[in-house]
Amino acid sequence: MTEVTDTSGREHAPGGYLPPFRAFMLHPRYWPTWLGIGLLWAVMGLPRPVALGLGRLVGWMAWRSGGKRRHFADVNLRLCFPDWDAARREQVLRDHFRIAGQCFVDYPLLWFGSRRRHRERIRLVDEAGVLAMQQAGRPVILCAAHAPALDFGGLRLSLEVGGVSFAKPMSNPVVEWINTRSRSQYGAAMFSRDQGLRPAIRHIRLGKVFYYLGDEDLGREHAVFAPFFGIPKATVPALGRLVKLTGAPVVPAIGFYRTDEDCYELVMAPPLEDFPTGDDATDAARMNAALEALIRRDPAQYLWTLRFFKTRPQGEPRVY
């Protein structure tokens, strides 16, 4: 395993989707958003023990007022870890909300932090040799799991190799502007989902890293049902097709917040071997299994609040 702490950054990868700042964002209706951003910026100046305490408080408040999100997370853990007792499940949920709270408090690190601070606070754990592949001019598809620390790992990787990814546009244009600006600050090319896969394919063929998220339930259309923690899950089988079109290896990845060390990591596992197989269901199952193996390293890190099993096979009851 190679832990990367510092290499030369690049800043010249072409951008795709970069919403501009517009005067209407200063309208009074967005003043609460600007106030929130200002408060988060101020958090960066707090002593670290205070920021850690604030993260714990935010996590506790999210846990107490979790409502539907907490219910979704509890259902997911019941399905994925049926051997756990209630006490263990509750502890993992509490740990998850604490991690999510700290990630929220630390978000201004992504928006306003310097290159030096990004290198100091976010580590790359490169078990796959991604940086070596990039130095050799090889493209890579990084198949990442959803996690509270997702953007921290993506930003740190883009500092080294640029890259390309997709994002779902946010409803608040101020947050959309500052978040997309942050994600692309080191040259990563960002695209909206509405633009389709063609921009990603073009960038992968140019030798870039594609930060791909394939674990969301996007509905029945174009999906196959593949096991995820032993549960049939609607999975879009696009990954195998991307590999066929680009020849890029697939590297499973996940972002972690290490509470014991107070740092962020992007863990990149060894590439999938003999992938794709040519069968959509088999390829989807292999992708899910690779992500599952990473999640099992530290289950509290996964974004359990999403409805990963929203779409059910014909005849099966809803689970949420």
Tally the C-alpha atoms within 13 A of residue 86's C-alpha that lie toward its C-beta: 0
> Band of the pLDDT at 2, cuts 50, 70, 90?
very low
Closest CA to 148 of 268, 232, 55, 27: 55
Q: Where are the domains of the chain?
A: 3-28+115-301
Mean pLDDT of 172-194: 88
Token readout for 237 is: 């089988």
For residue 242, is pLDDT > 90? yes
Task: List Cβ neighbours of 102 (8 Å cut-off, separation of 6 or more).
Answer: 52, 55, 56, 58, 59, 257, 259
Least confident of 10-14, 39-43, 138-142, 208-212: 10-14
279: left (phi over 0), alpha (psi -120 to 50) or beta: beta
Least confident of 76-90, 183-197, 263-277, 279-293: 183-197
Contact 225, 282 (CB under 8 A): no
Would you state the pLDDT for residue 20? 84
Would you state the pLDDT for residue 16? 66
DSSP codes of every residue in 189-247: EEEEGGG-SHHHHHHHHTT-EEEEE--S---STT-EEEEETTEEEEE-THHHHHHHHH-
Amino acid identity, residue 169? P
Mean pLDDT of 196-210: 87
Would you state the pLDDT for residue 117? 96
Mean pLDDT of 171-182: 91
Provide CATH code, domain 3-28+115-301: 3.40.1130
Helices (H), ranges, the chain:
31-43, 48-64, 67-80, 86-112, 115-121, 130-135, 150-161, 173-183, 198-205, 238-246, 280-297
Task: List Cβ neighbours of 288 (8 Å cut-off, separation of 6 or more).
Answer: 215, 226, 227, 228, 233, 235
Least confident of 12-16, 54-58, 64-68, 166-170: 12-16
Least confident of 5-14, 93-102, 268-277: 5-14
**What is the reported pTM?**
0.90
Contact 257, 148 (CB under 8 A): yes
pLDDT digits (tens, 9 = 90+) for 63-92: 999 899 999 999 999 999 999 999 999 999
> Band of the pLDDT at 214, cuts 50, 70, 90?
very high
Mean pLDDT of 294-314: 98
> Band of the pLDDT at 125, cuts 50, 70, 90?
very high
pLDDT digits (tens, 9 = 90+) for 5-32: 433 334 444 446 678 899 999 999 999 9
Residues of the chain above pLDDT 90, percent: 80
Give the CA-trace dihedral at 79, 84, 86, 90, to 10 degrees. -80
